[in-house]
Structure 1
Amino acid sequence: MSPSFIRIPAPRAAAMLREHRRGESAELALFDSRDRTSFDRGHIEGARFLSDANFGEIISTLPRSTPVLIYCFRGNASQTWAGMFADFRFGEVYSVDGGYDALAAALTLPETAPFPSTKSTSQALGSFLAARGFSGSDIDAAGEHGLTPLMHAAWRGEEALLRELLSLGASPLSRNADGNTALWLACVGANGACVRALAEAGVLLDSRNDTGATALMYCASSGKADMLALLLSLGADPLVRNFDDARAVDLCSTLDCLKLLRHTADLPLAAG
Structure 2
Amino acid sequence: MALAERVPFQCLSAAEAAALIRAEADLTLFDVRDLQSYQQEHLDGAMHLSEDRVPLWIGRLPKEAPVLVYCYHGNSSKTFAQMFSDFRFARVYSVDGGYRPLASALAAPAAEEAPSDVVSPGLAAFLADWQYPSGELNARGAHGLTPLMRAARQGERALVQELLALGVDLHARNDDGNTALWLACVSRDAGLVQDLIEAGIALDNRNDAGSTALMYTASSDRPQLLELLLAAGADPQVRNFDDLRAVELAASKACLKLLRHTAD
- Report the TM range for the smaller structure's normalisation: 0.7 to 0.9
Is the Cα–Cα contact under 8 Å of residues 32 and 50 in structure 1 kept in the other structure?
A: yes
Contact kept in structure 1, 2:112 and 2:168, CA below 8 Å: no
Cα distance change, pair 256–4 in 1 and its aligned pair in 2 (3 A): farther
| 1:167 maps to 2:165 | yes
Q: CA RMSD in A?
A: 4.0
1:96 correspondence with 2:99: yes
Shift of 1:96: 3.2
1:5 Cα offset (Å): 8.1
Which residue does 2:66 correspond to in 1?
A: 66
Percent identity over paired residues: 43
Structure 2 Cα separation of the partners of residues 258 and 150 of structure 1:
31
SS for the counterpart of 1:129 is helix
Equivalent position amino acid for 1:85 in 2: F
Choose from 243, 246, 249 the match for 1:245.
Answer: 243
- Deviations along 1:95-135, one digit per CA (max 9) or x if unpaired, are 5349xxxx7xx98x783422323211111111111111111
Q: Measure, in 2, the Cα distance between the counterparts of 1:110 and 1:146.
A: 15
Match of 1:96, as an amino acid?
A: Y
1:16 and 2:38 are equivalent in the alignment: no
Give the TM-score, by structure 2 length. Answer: 0.74
Q: Distance in 2 between matches of 1:235 and 1:62?
A: 47
For 2:211, the equivalent position in structure 1 comes to: 213
1:85 paired to 2:84 = no
Match of 1:270 in 2: none
* Mapping of residues 1-272 of structure 1, within 5 Å: 16=18, 20-21=21-22, 23=23, 25=24, 28-31=27-30, 46-48=45-47, 50=49, 54-60=53-59, 61=61, 63=63, 66-68=66-68, 82=77, 85-88=80-83, 89=85, 90-93=92-95, 95-97=98-100, 111-136=109-134, 138-266=136-264
Structure 2 gaps of 5+ residues are 1-8, 86-91
CA shift for structure 1 position 178: 1.1
Quickly say closer, same or farther: Cα 1:252–1:64, change in 2 above 3 A. farther
Contact 1:154–1:194 (CA under 8 A) maintained in structure 2: yes
What TM-score, normalized to structure 1? Answer: 0.72
Give the Cα separation in 1 of the matches to 2:155 and 2:176.
20
Residues 1:228 and 1:4: Cα distance change in structure 2 (over 3 Å): farther
Distance 1:4 1:181 in 2: 30
Which of the pair has more CA radius of gyration? 2
Q: Which amino acid aligns with 2:28?
A: A
Please give the secondary structure, in 1, of the residue aligned with 2:111. coil
Which of structure 1's runs of 4+ aligned residues deviate more than 6 A?
3-8, 32-35, 78-81
Question: Number of paired residues?
Answer: 242
Deviates more, 1:132-141 or 1:204-213: 132-141
| 1:138 shift after superposition | 3.5
Contact 1:183-1:195 within 8 A present in 2 as well: yes
Structure-1 separation of matches of 2:250 and 2:261 = 13
Task: Quote the residue 1:269 is aligned against.
Answer: none
